[in-house]
Structure 1
Amino acid sequence: DSNLSKREYWRKRYNWDKQVKMDWLVDADEVSQNLEPKIQQLRKKTGEVCLNILDLGCGTSDVPSVLLKRCKTPVIIYCVDYSEGALQWQKGLLEDLDQKHGNLLSNYRLVMADVCQLPFKNNFFHVVIDKGTTDSLLKSKDGHQMAVSCMKDVHRVLHPLGNLWQITDEDPDIRLLFLQSIQDEANLKYSSSFEVLLSDDINDYFLYTIKEDSLDKP
């Protein structure tokens, strides 16, 4: 559905369907269980006290609240979406935690922004989580170019030692080729790998890890 790439579609959807959460592709518990040890390892690698995490196009997913509740590593989770309705939903979920975070230093921020024009400084995020957001961009007739723009800005805000994690049901033969094409077009340097996050009777769901190849970032 090409509407999945349009701001107006999501504005109407979240305003009309406020009481129905939507975790695309994989349940938040599954995501959290997989990412928590990786986040802990990344903290050791970077030596940072607290990691900045970007949930790129957070929507009404439970991933931010589940991670904040369970992750023992201190994190600041930035929930970014261009839908005010989605951010209001996230505010309700996160306020319901009542400071019952996995780490007392952990917290969250809500930011209304376009994922192709992120309002953050260079190298700010240690982790970027893209759960179906690139998939939505690709639904547009200009989807490839939108995905290139998004990837370039994510690359800009990603810490040199950080990870971009994409969660999708797209087959590795297609997604890895897509990531390589973006790398060539946008003149970026990174390596890509994948693992099976979850399999059911219908689909396989994958976690793609994108890392910087070089530390020569501005």
Structure 2
Amino acid sequence: MSTSTLPASNTAYGTREYWEERYAAEGAETTFDWFLKPSYLIPILEPYMPKGKETRILMLGCGNSTLGEEMYDAGYHGIVNIDYSATLIEQMIGKHAEKRPGMTWLEMDIRDLKFEDESFDVVIDKGTMDAMLTSKGDVWNPAEEDVKNCNEEIREACRVLRKREGSMFLYATFGQPHFRRRYMQGHQGFALTHKDIGPPEGFSYFLYELKWTGSGTS
């Protein structure tokens, strides 16, 4: 990542303006993954796909990560990618529409999804919630706006998930359980678990699994 695209403050990562400027400056050919490269993450995600290669997947805050395109190339063609940067979405459509037919790119806010209830088998967040938790302050007591944004993301993810066995929200992050579980707890019919998926020799990363069970709350 070029130093010219780094924000003056981490709080900028939570703003649409920063991402619009960054994607416009970087151009369509630039790709970037904050952590857990797709080649490492995809084998971890594959066992969670309830319909195998036919699983309908929603990528939240896709950015210019190659996760969506690499999953498509691995046979998962039912992928919808969303991001609230109009610039990014225009770039991705131009880059992938002909090469990867059937994969969709839509400008959309993850806190207000424009999909019908029960539209997807799996919803994936790879670091998008992390970008919303960048306000200054006590990490144990995040800003009220950050909490609201995260809660709205999870509420919408649960709404668009199909209420059937195997459906789930998957969240890959560096955020430790005592900082992240709070946003995914208490959703009727869903059970929450997590595990460390970081490379054995490296920093810990976590995969949170909010899975439809049909009874109780997580």
Q: Settle same-fold status: TM greater than 0.5.
A: yes
Q: Which residue of structure 1 aligns with residue 92 of structure 2?
A: 90
3-state SS of paired residue (2:73) = helix
Question: Are 2:151 and 1:148 aligned?
Answer: yes
- Relative contact order higher in (CA < 8 Å, ≥ 6 apart): 1
Distance in 2 (alpha carbons) for counterparts of 1:30 and 1:92:
27
Unaligned runs of 5+ in 2: 1-9, 136-142
TM-score (norm 1): 0.80
Q: Which residue of structure 1 aligns with residue 11 of structure 2?
A: 2
The structure 1 segments of at least 4 consecutive aligned residues displaced by more than 6 Å after TM superposition are none
3-state SS of paired residue (1:26) = coil
With over 3 angstroms needed to count, the CA separation of the structure-2 counterparts of 1:96 and 1:35, relative to structure 1, is farther
**Is this contact kept in 2: 1:53–1:77, CA < 8 A?**
yes
With over 3 angstroms needed to count, the CA separation of the structure-2 counterparts of 1:202 and 1:7, relative to structure 1, is same
1:57 to partner: Cα distance: 0.5
Question: Are 2:40 and 1:30 aligned?
Answer: yes
**Is this contact kept in 2: 1:191–1:211, CA < 8 A?**
yes
Q: Which residue of structure 1 aligns with residue 5 of structure 2?
A: none
Q: Size of the alignment, in residue pairs? A: 196
Distance in 1 (alpha carbons) for counterparts of 2:205 and 2:87:
27
Distance in 1 (alpha carbons) for counterparts of 2:117 and 2:215:
13
With over 3 angstroms needed to count, the CA separation of the structure-2 counterparts of 1:117 and 1:177, relative to structure 1, is closer
**Counterparts of residues 113-124 of structure 1 (less than 5 Å):** 113-124=108-119
With over 3 angstroms needed to count, the CA separation of the structure-2 counterparts of 1:86 and 1:197, relative to structure 1, is farther
With over 3 angstroms needed to count, the CA separation of the structure-2 counterparts of 1:169 and 1:123, relative to structure 1, is same
Q: Which residue of structure 2 aligns with residue 195 of structure 1?
A: 195
Q: Which residue of structure 2 aligns with residue 136 of structure 1?
A: 131
* Matched-pair identity in %: 25
RMSD: 2.3
**Is this contact kept in 2: 1:58–1:86, CA < 8 A?**
no
Q: In the TM superposition, what whole-angstrom CA distance separates every residue of 1:167-204 from its partner, at most 9, and x where no partner exists? A: 00111233224433xx3xxx644211122222265511
